[in-house]
Amino acid sequence: MTQTFPPENPEAPTTPSATAPDIRAPGARAFGQAGPGAVPAALRRRVPRYADLAPLMQFKKPEFSRAARLRRASTIWDLRDIAKRRTPQAPFDYTDGAAEAEITLRRARQAFLDIEFRPGILRDVSSIDLSTEILGGPSRLPVGIAPTGFTRMMQSEGEYAGSRAAEAAGIPYTLSTMGTASIEDVATAAPAGRNWFQLYLWTDRDRSLELIQRAATAGNDTLMVTVDTAVAGARLRDVRNGMTIPPALTLKTVLDASYRPAWWFNFLTHEPLTFASLSRYTGTVADLINSMFDPTLTFADLDWLRETWKGKLVVKGIQTVEDARKVVGHGADGIVLSNHGGRQLDRAPIPFHLLPEVSAALKADRSDAAIILDTGIMSGADIIAALALGADFTLIGRAYLYGLMAGGRAGVDRALQILEKDMQRTMALLGVSRIADLTPDHVRILKG
């Protein structure tokens, strides 16, 4: 049978067969001959030599250490995956979950995805400077650690890991009223760190005043009062998990623990979990919030705080332009645009969407109050987008807690390293070398 090969086929025979006609154009060279159109030597098939294969057959020894596991994490989402495998369901869900149908949290994360960066070209970005100043002090990065409650429940190193990692990174660390390490212990653990204290105003003003005085004595330069917890949000994952403080040993938790022995070993062999800034409490998270926090708070209470606290005062939980203006008018040095990570009111405003309006309003008022943003941040690119649209600073909660659950202090370090690398790369690709050079022109919010 006669067989014909297309001229471009590298599998074609190098010489014409006895039955196949020579279809070469006049003057064309046979396959393998030098000249225009000939197949390069590098593309001719040959039997591989051992010397060529040896470098490709070096098998890397598997690594199962915590350090190796964390090194393999390239994103905050990778750390979340590790955290989920290593942490019992109840504490993981307490961190990962939000209120009701969790619509707010999904929208907050989606908001950062629904943008378009607008890079500039031919700029010198050989050196990227991520340092900034916030509330009268320096920060090596434009992000700090947000206040998170029950942190030693997520991983036994808890606030000690977070504060020390922040100290090493040169960024602020915020201790929560609901923290599981005391104000004094955090100050001792991170003596060179910039420590802030987050306050929930209680019905018992004397106890609030005691905490304020302790924070000042311990060297905290900023008080962050949270104002979006008149009552507890409906955090349904916690309800379904039977979440209590401290965690209760039920058949479900025992079975769950069998898959995470390291977490339970750490939990059972360290000091019992308590609220280090409060007295001992046993019960559900929602019951604690509803019994302790004051639903009668007004702007008059903010005035009392302003008179009482001599350092920087920040109000966290701002969700409208009007309230941003009001709290600044009542003496706040800064605001945190936040819906409590979606953990209070579901379908609440999204801080990232609110940011341009608040920034424009405070500029119109000639205010120099700091605008800080949290909720939904899962990458350094998210942080850069927030700064471009008017934020002076950002805070991370879940993002660092995923690192904590994934590997203690080393995991928090890794989370901050990931975010820093993200920020450096994003800045360079935008053609910007300093935070101060970011403008709204670098980001466009896409319309649905």
Distance CA 299, CA 313 (A): 14
Residue with tokens 């019960």: 283
If you write DSSP's letter for every residue of 306-328 in order, what string do you get? Answer: HHH--SEEEEEEE-SHHHHHHHH
Rg (Cα) of the chain, in Å, rounded?
Answer: 29
**Known catalytic residues?**
340
Indicate the angle between helix axes 351-364 and 103-113, nearest 10 degrees: 70
Q: ω before 246 within 30° of 0 (cis)?
A: yes
What is d(CA 444, CA 332) in angstroms, rounded to the nearest whole number? 30
Task: Give the residue from 173, 128, 238 showing the smallest Cα distance to 412.
Answer: 173
Q: Which residues contact 420 (CB under 8 A, 6 or more apart)?
A: 130, 141, 169, 380
Instruction: Return the closest-CA partner of residue 87 out of 405, 401, 399, 407.
Output: 405
Integer Cα distance of 192 and 230 in angstroms: 34
Cα–Cα nearest to 15, from 25, 36, 30, 33: 30
Query: What DSSP element (H or E) covers 136?
Result: none
Look up tokens 């579901």; give the residue. Answer: 346
Tell me the residue type at 23. Answer: I
Q: Which positions ≥6 away from 322 have C-beta within 8 Å?
A: none
Q: What is the residue-wise DSSP string for 21-88?
A: ---PPTTPPPTT-SSTTPPPGGGS--PPPHHHHGGGG-PPPP--SHHHHHHT--SHHHHHHHHHHHS-
What residues pair up with 129 in beta bridges, in sequence order?
Answer: 434
Interacting residues of 292 by C-beta distance below 8 A, sequence separation 6+: 200, 202, 203
How far, in Å, CA of 346 to CA of 104, rounded?
A: 5
CA triple 23-28-32, angle to 5 deg:
100
